[in-house]
A and B are shown apart, each in its own frame.
Chain A
């Protein structure tokens, strides 16, 4: 069977997620450079995050477009898209027991409830929470690609 000439969907996912993550840095960089569109870049992320400066990492003297926790959530997805294809045994185990995914959200839930959380606990627990979501995304894309390949010969007939 000939291989379909498609750019691999998992790599497209990774590129998209990495672009999204890097766009967080565009807002402080634009502010630092005095670009008038900087408020618009912050406005894009405004519906997604409280954007409290004290709860955000700072780059170039300006806050990121999202808070520590959101930055952790987005980083977790990118990290997951990079690592899950290499973690075969853990991948099989987690897919076998889908509900275990909720355990990854437990540290974030505890951190939200704790009054003495720090920027790194917020970032790290966010990262842990979204890490398995990347696996679900990869599996969804795989399933959809397989379904497409199954349908292709029927369409050709």
Chain B
């Protein structure tokens, strides 16, 4: 692994794991209701970790910051989905699954859809919810963490005094 890749991967791991764990813990993850604050914060943290080891430069490395944020988002989505497994299983055992089933019936979902859901059972539903959740999280977390990381680069960039890059 090159030094450049390592320099990006370490901050992305720290930011990604932090945002993933925080976004998976019930009650704490309510902070994401404020415009994905935890995910944006994870991106800012990743870019802070990246920028603190960067030498001063004339031009802020927004491109590199975007990559760090994107990686943090991807790592965060995977970590979040894994950490969320026990919470999803717990919710399924509490009867959340049957609630969704009846809500779908009330909404007029085709019989095939409710039949497929019944066939899956609570465990299968929890697994399905995790896979679907991971798919959307990958997309959403990457976008928001990249935004956070770009803001971080703008704020934490150290400028050269002589203007040399």
Contacts and interface: CB of A to CB of B under 8 A. Distances in A.
B8 interface: no
In the complex, which range does the number of interface residues on chain B fall in? 35 or more
Contacts, number: 79
A36 B60 CA distance: 47
Interface string A35-52: 010110000100111100
A136 B113 contact: no
Contacts of A83: none
Q: Report whether over half of chain B's contact residues are helix, strand or loop; otherwise say mixed.
A: helix
A82 interface: no
Contacts of A133: 147, 150-151
Interface string B30-60: 0011111000000000000000000000001
Nearest to B29: A47
In the complex, which range does the number of interface residues on chain A fall in? 20 to 34
Interface string A96-128: 001101100000000000000000000000100
Q: Report whether over half of chain A's contact residues are helix, strand or loop; otherwise say mixed.
A: helix
B110 A101 contact: no
Contact of A101 (B104, B136, B154): B154
A149 interface: no
Given A36-B110, A47-B140, A140 B147 contact: no
Contacts of A53: none
B139 to A, nearest CB: 10
Contacts of B61: 143
Contacts of A140: 62-63, 65-66, 146, 150
B25 to A, nearest CB: 13
Given A39-B103, A69-B35, 11 more contacts: A34-B108, A36-B109, A47-B23, A48-B33, A48-B144, A49-B33, A126-B35, A133-B147, A139-B63, A142-B63, A143-B63
Interface of A: 20, 34, 36, 38-39, 44, 47-50, 69-70, 73, 95, 98-99, 101-102, 126, 130, 133, 136-137, 139-144, 147
